[in-house]
Structure 1
Amino acid sequence: MALKVLSALDVAKIQLYHFKAIIVAGMGLFTDAYDLFCIPPIIKLIGRIYYDDKSAPTAVVSNLVAIALLGTVIGQLVFGRLGDQIGRRRVYGLSLSIMVLSSIACGFSICRTRNCVLVSLGFFRFLLGVGIGGDYPLSATIMSEFANKKTRGAFIAAVFSMQGFGILASSVVTMVVSTIFDATSDAPEGHTPDEADISWRLILMLGGVPAALTYYWRMMMPETARYTALVEQNVVQAAMDMKKVLDVPMSQIAEDSPLPSSPPPTYPLLSKRFFRRHGRDLFSCAASWFLVDIVFYSSNLFQSQIYHRFIKDHDPNKNGYQLAFRVARFQAILAICSTIPGYWVTVYFIDRIGRVRIQMIGFFFMAMVYFAIGIPYKFYWHNHINDGFLVLYGLTFFFSNFGPNTTTFIVPAELFPARFRSTCHGISGAVGKVGAIIGTVGFIWASKNQKKDEKPNPERMTVALVLLGVVCLVGLSVTYFFTRETMGRSLEDNENEDDD
């Protein structure tokens, strides 16, 4: 028997609370992108401060990214499971607290010696990754359970699109801080003064401010009606919670007669029955996320070339502030022209053409772009990094976000029953972040030269870029053969325990 409170959620009109939930839930994704994309310009400052006005080694960049991703893997698994066991709301504030405190702690990385600073920064970024990882399954699940079935995809995509604004914010903050410190510095041309050590710490600490501002609203959010009704089996409380946030008459959501006591099915997570019913869905979500993150985080392959040719990061006449400004400016332009449009094109089309089609479109065009860059790379692009190269580079981000980078966040929040939803989203995301770690390690391999670490090796870059195109085609195949469409379906379709 369909519960009235859940049927009302499926057809509820778009209300102010939906947009409020997008902002509150999206701040975790905002912080995630801010802290990831502020690292490249910050590394320019750290290189000039702790490496005698030289660039930091490639391995330092990749390790700082990888250590945060490792924390994300753990956070997704732990918080995803807790979200199903004790409730989404009860652990939602905890993940945000870890993010905010870790962002601040990154700025207070102890010591002034190079090794000590990098080790402490890596430790706090690991904790930051744990908080960010916990936010992924909780934000996606909460938004999916509050939304109606007609616009659910657009709402979850809008939450994820906050990453684009996080990228833009990190770039703007970096440019402003770098400009202010540079303008007040009296150091000789090309020399980075000691006070630059304060600037990169300030940039990191400011990343926690937007998330901290939403903490109160997270704590005031009620538990989702779907969790309360289907997992806790408290339909009366679910109706009362829904009434608090949505303008729906109580007569439409209160049951007309007492419901029979029917405890939820007892088969456990990852049991034979679970895999028989949900194994294909879990495989498709995890595999797609794994493949797209390999490609998405390997985008640094391009940036090493762009920084070397356009930003001229080895220019002895530029200090750390100026180099950080140039890198941040490039990232801001890329976010405005490519990344953010990709997110919002998905928001517009996700409930019109479906998740599967968008994911296949994204994988296909990403593959074509990587082949267009990779096949002639050694013979042409390696010595002709021009506007054409930048357009192709921007298209990889556009079709990643108008494609699998967004849909892999959406689909796991829709495919699984309420008692497994957050856990399965966490598992899928954790497998994806393992792919991201592989991508960052591949960045080290592909960018190293046989004798130097200054310029990318053209032969390795060619092979790596073509392999990324192949990975995209594998993702296309996984999507076509294994991923089920969820557009227009009620989340309760997956609550049917009939073995058929």
Structure 2
Amino acid sequence: MTVLSSSERSMEKSPFKNVDSSKLSLNHIKIWYTSGMGFFTDAYDLFIIGAIIDTLSNAHKYAGLNIPGFTSYLNGPDSAFWTGLLGSSAIITAILGQLLFGFLGDRIGRKTVYGVEASLLALGAFLSGLAPSLPLLILFRSIMGIGIGGDYPISATIMSEYANIKDRGKLIALVFANQGLGSVAAVAVGTISALYLPPDLSWRVTAIIGAIPAATVIYLRRKVPETPRYSLLAKGDVETAKKAASVLGTSIDTSSAVTSKKISFSDFLSKYGKLLIGTAITWTMLDMAFYGTGVYSGPIVSSVLGSTFPKLAAGQVLALGDFQADLAKEIFDGGIPFLVGFFGYFTAVALMDKLGRKLIQTQGFLMMAVLYAVVSFLMVTSGTKVTGFVIPTLAAFSLYALSYFFIDFGPNTTTFVIPAEVYPVRYRTTGHGISAASGKVGAAIATYLFPGLLVSIGVKDILLLLAGLSIIGALLTVAFVREPKDKSLEEASEDEIVSSGGTTVGK
């Protein structure tokens, strides 16, 4: 049995050498747009659900408004339970979507399920805006969550398997950077809706708008051919592989029949188990910080800057116009960290193929830890309440907002990129789905527990807790994550490529 070196396999024997060496083209950008709109909605929803919670809770508290089907849940004795469930419902079901679509993407193909997840996402977001009660809103958001979850492994893998080597990290990161666009849109839509629409209508408008981006790409996703690598190496479908390569204006070498060697799941765990720890648990650490501070950005920012709502005497309420102005300001203030994070996404895009994924992820975790710890140490508290800072409040808030830059120019982007590159073609969406689901487990835990933690331990100790989790994320990255920069997918994943006669031609 003849075994070639990785460089020989990559440059000479790989059937995808033309795809790997192709130049960045408009067709790559088209695939990016088609793949990325689900993540626009994912980030849009991350911010907007916090704005919806603020609207539904504060309308009664400050304006004396009763919104049937919602007020009694979010202002009653079990308000922390319902708030946590509303904030985490889509995240919980996203775990199911990531695992299910990750499995199906490898089992029956990326193309077969592509567009289904976007349909669920759009349908759930649309129905959420029409929900007549909180339990049904939670149900519809759960449907949306399955679609959001399913989008992670499928879109990431499709982009990675169409990308060239030189720009692969950039292109996968660009798919995810649609979160930055979604965040900015959510801040704008949430603020404007709160200011100009009555509370019982504004939250519905913001929810429905989230359906639009995903709905625009459902048709495009159904028309994308199966990826060249999955078609050839997993299915042995030469004609579809050629068709997929032609989408990029290039071709694949089919002069010899090759396939990805099948391995059992136990063998997969034996070979990739440590790597799975690196891609999965780091994502858990990241999402506990990202979703915890993201969904409850409004209350956290209010703890730092002070509430925009005035203190009211018993029985006193604000005029509707005054309430809307205060609510809009609170929503906008809560979105400022997301606006700072916007630049982090595109800094990651620009440097992904220069610095490498592992370095960007490590420095991001470390800077998160430093900024969380510094802001916490600067806080002056009375019990769990923040009463001030030892430096000007605006300076302290700027440090907190800066953490969002390093989240996005760091593990929030790289934990998405790396699993799409380091697992073999027959297990690529499964590996990504497991990793992403692990992240969403952390997100679900954080968003469910945060309302109670804000009351029981306060923002100061929450930030110290997140600093500790960020340090763990950095250590796991150094110990278990593999650098895929400048390698073909077969090299990066150590995928064993064999000829139809059983001879190993790549490893």
TM-score (norm 1): 0.87
1:428 paired with 2:426, answer no
| Distance (Å, rounded) in 2 between the aligned partners of 1:356 and 1:154 | 14
Q: 1:72 aligns with which of 51, 69, 94?
A: 94
| Distance (Å, rounded) in 2 between the aligned partners of 1:296 and 1:480 | 20
Q: 2:453 aligns with which of 446, 454, 458?
A: 446
CA contact (8 A) 1:174 1:324 kept: no
CA contact (8 A) 2:183 2:342 kept: no
Counterpart for residue 268 of structure 1: 264
| Distance (Å, rounded) in 1 between the aligned partners of 2:40 and 2:193 | 19
| Distance (Å, rounded) in 1 between the aligned partners of 2:161 and 2:409 | 23
Q: 3-state SS of the aligned residue for 1:161? A: helix
| Distance (Å, rounded) in 1 between the aligned partners of 2:261 and 2:319 | 65
User: 1:70-219, aligned counterparts within 5 Å?
Assistant: 70-110=92-132, 117-181=133-197, 196-219=199-222
Higher mean displacement: 488-497 or 144-153: 488-497
1:379 positional shift? 4.8
1:121 positional shift? 0.5
Q: Decide whether aligned partners of structure 1 residues 416 and 318 sit closer, same or farther in structure 2, where only a CA change above 3 A counts.
A: farther
Q: 3-state SS of the aligned residue for 2:483? A: coil
CA contact (8 A) 2:101 2:150 kept: yes
1:263 positional shift? 5.6
1:437 positional shift? 1.6
Counterpart for residue 339 of structure 1: 341
| Distance (Å, rounded) in 2 between the aligned partners of 1:152 and 1:313 | 47
Q: 2:425 aligns with which of 393, 418, 435?
A: 418
| Distance (Å, rounded) in 2 between the aligned partners of 1:28 and 1:283 | 26
1:167 positional shift? 1.1
Counterpart for residue 277 of structure 2: 283
| Distance (Å, rounded) in 2 between the aligned partners of 1:38 and 1:461 | 21
Q: Residues 65-112 of structure 1: CA distance to partner in whole angstroms, max 9, x if unpaired?
A: 2111111000000011111111111111100000111111101112xx
Q: Decide whether aligned partners of structure 1 residues 377 and 178 sit closer, same or farther in structure 2, where only a CA change above 3 A counts.
A: closer
Q: 3-state SS of the aligned residue for 1:216? A: helix
| Distance (Å, rounded) in 2 between the aligned partners of 1:176 and 1:441 | 28
1:496 paired with 2:496, answer yes
Q: 3-state SS of the aligned residue for 2:114? A: helix
CA contact (8 A) 2:159 2:172 kept: yes
| Distance (Å, rounded) in 1 between the aligned partners of 2:190 and 2:139 | 22
Q: 3-state SS of the aligned residue for 1:489? A: coil
1:398 paired with 2:394, answer no
Q: 2:308 aligns with which of 305, 312, 316?
A: 312
Counterpart for residue 356 of structure 1: 358
| Distance (Å, rounded) in 2 between the aligned partners of 1:444 and 1:49 | 18
| Distance (Å, rounded) in 1 between the aligned partners of 2:206 and 2:119 | 19
| Distance (Å, rounded) in 2 between the aligned partners of 1:220 and 1:359 | 34
Counterpart for residue 386 of structure 2: 382
CA contact (8 A) 2:47 2:335 kept: no
1:202 positional shift? 1.8
1:310 positional shift? 4.0
Q: 3-state SS of the aligned residue for 1:317? A: coil
Q: 2:33 aligns with which of 23, 28, 41?
A: 23
Gap runs ≥5 in structure 2: 1-8, 66-70, 312-316, 498-503
Q: Give the counterpart letter for 1:99 in structure 2.
A: L
Q: Residues 30-59 of structure 1: CA distance to partner in whole angstroms, max 9, x if unpaired?
A: 011111211122223212456644985444
Q: Give the counterpart letter for 1:22 in structure 2.
A: W
Q: Residues 404-449 of structure 1: CA distance to partner in whole angstroms, max 9, x if unpaired?
A: 1110000000000011000110000101111112212341232115
Q: Residues 367-413 of structure 1: CA distance to partner in whole angstroms, max 9, x if unpaired?
A: 11111122343459922261022111111111111111110000000
Q: 3-state SS of the aligned residue for 2:397? A: helix
Q: Decide whether aligned partners of structure 1 residues 227 and 99 sit closer, same or farther in structure 2, where only a CA change above 3 A counts.
A: same
Q: 3-state SS of the aligned residue for 1:382? A: strand
Q: 3-state SS of the aligned residue for 2:379? A: coil
1:288 positional shift? 0.6
Q: 3-state SS of the aligned residue for 1:411? A: helix
Q: Decide whether aligned partners of structure 1 residues 28 and 265 sit closer, same or farther in structure 2, where only a CA change above 3 A counts.
A: same
1:12 positional shift? 0.8
Q: Give the counterpart letter for 1:234 in structure 2.
A: D
Counterpart for residue 184 of structure 1: none
Name the Cα RMSD after superposition: 2.3
CA contact (8 A) 2:190 2:328 kept: yes
CA contact (8 A) 1:41 1:323 kept: no
| Distance (Å, rounded) in 2 between the aligned partners of 1:6 and 1:323 | 57
User: 1:3-42, aligned counterparts within 5 Å?
Assistant: 5-42=15-52
Counterpart for residue 223 of structure 1: 226
Counterpart for residue 241 of structure 1: 244
1:123 positional shift? 0.7
- Percent identity, please: 35
| Distance (Å, rounded) in 1 between the aligned partners of 2:486 and 2:160 | 12
Counterpart for residue 288 of structure 2: 294
Q: Give the counterpart letter for 1:159 in structure 2.
A: V
Q: 3-state SS of the aligned residue for 1:383? A: strand
Q: Give the counterpart letter for 1:133 in structure 2.
A: G
Q: Decide whether aligned partners of structure 1 residues 318 and 475 sit closer, same or farther in structure 2, where only a CA change above 3 A counts.
A: farther
Counterpart for residue 374 of structure 2: 372
1:276 positional shift? 2.2
Q: 1:480 aligns with which of 468, 478, 481?
A: 478
Q: Decide whether aligned partners of structure 1 residues 201 and 412 sit closer, same or farther in structure 2, where only a CA change above 3 A counts.
A: same
| Distance (Å, rounded) in 2 between the aligned partners of 1:334 and 1:466 | 18
| Distance (Å, rounded) in 2 between the aligned partners of 1:177 and 1:217 | 30
Q: Give the counterpart letter for 1:119 in structure 2.
A: P
Q: 3-state SS of the aligned residue for 1:384? A: strand
- Tell me the matched-pair count: 462
1:293 positional shift? 0.9
CA contact (8 A) 1:307 1:313 kept: no
CA contact (8 A) 2:99 2:434 kept: yes
CA contact (8 A) 1:236 1:254 kept: no
CA contact (8 A) 1:377 1:461 kept: no
| Distance (Å, rounded) in 1 between the aligned partners of 2:283 and 2:238 | 34
Q: Residues 113-153 of structure 1: CA distance to partner in whole angstroms, max 9, x if unpaired?
A: xxxx1111011111110000000111110111111111111
Q: Decide whether aligned partners of structure 1 residues 178 and 30 sit closer, same or farther in structure 2, where only a CA change above 3 A counts.
A: same
